Amino acid sequence: MKKEKVQERIIRVASDLFYRQGFNSTGINQIIAEADIAIGSLYNHFSSKNDLLQAYLIKQEAEWFRGFEEHSAAISDPGEKILSLIGYRKKLQQSSKFAGCHFIKIVAEVGDSSPAVSGFARQHKEKQKEMIRTMVNVYAESKNDIDSDMMAEQIFLLIEGAVVTSTINKNTDSFGQIQKMIKAQLS
């Protein structure tokens, strides 16, 4: 296994802390201590905590899309591919012990105080929606009378709602419910 670079370690440690305890509750000194680096090392790579936050969001987005691609790579049926997104989001919730979506959490925490962060999160959700729209368009090629934009919007909102409900209830029941709803839409 190759040795982790200092910058990668800083991002990994900061990402874990930002997600687990929140951006505002995570101090630079804690990141330095847990990454086991000197303060100068942190500032050699990141000029501020906000720069580190930006790196965290970029990392989470890349991991999210790569993770879905790996999760659904073996699925060729367009309808099954759409349904696999529900399974992927359910898996993310379970593996995080129902901690929720990184992007929803950070926007809830920093809100409009950081237009760059809220803009990045909004853009991330738009990319997710565009991915769903692309999958729905492939599915709709073999069907008549499907409003693929409306269907993509509904699937996106159902999944986002299931993630929030799952975070609040600390279970995956909402994913089973939306799976039935989306299957009905696809039939």
26 and 116, same domain (yes or no): no
- Rounded distance, CA 58 to CA 35, Å? 19
Residue whose structure tokens are 């942190």: 42
Q: What is the pLDDT of residue 144?
A: 74
Which residue range(s) make up the domain with 172? 57-186
Q: Give the pLDDT mean for 36-42.
A: 91
Helices 49-72 and 115-140, axial angle in degrees (round to 10): 10
pLDDT digits (tens, 9 = 90+) for 94-130: 999 999 999 999 999 998 888 999 999 999 999 999 9
pLDDT digits (tens, 9 = 90+) for 142-176: 777 788 899 999 999 999 999 999 999 999 999 99
The residue from 47, 65, 84 where one domain ends is 47
- Rounded distance, CA 168 to CA 178, Å? 16
Coil, strand or helix: which one is 164?
Answer: helix
Instruction: Supply φ then ψ for residue 130, to 5 degrees.
Output: -65, -40
Number of domains in the chain: 2
Q: What is the pLDDT of residue 141?
A: 86
- Rounded distance, CA 158 to CA 178, Å? 6
75 and 150, same domain (yes or no): yes
- Residue 52 located in a structural domain: no
17 and 86, same domain (yes or no): no
Residue 34's CATH number: 1.10.10.60
- Residue 5 located in a structural domain: yes
36 and 80, same domain (yes or no): no
pLDDT digits (tens, 9 = 90+) for 46-102: 999 999 999 999 999 999 999 999 999 999 999 999 999 999 999 999 999 999 999
115 and 93, same domain (yes or no): yes
Residue 116's CATH number: 1.10.357.10
pTM: 0.90
CA 54 to chain centre: 14
- Band of residue 1 on the pLDDT scale cut at 50, 70, 90: low
Is a pLDDT exceeding 80 seen at residue 3?
A: no
- Residue 124 located in a structural domain: yes
88 and 65, same domain (yes or no): yes
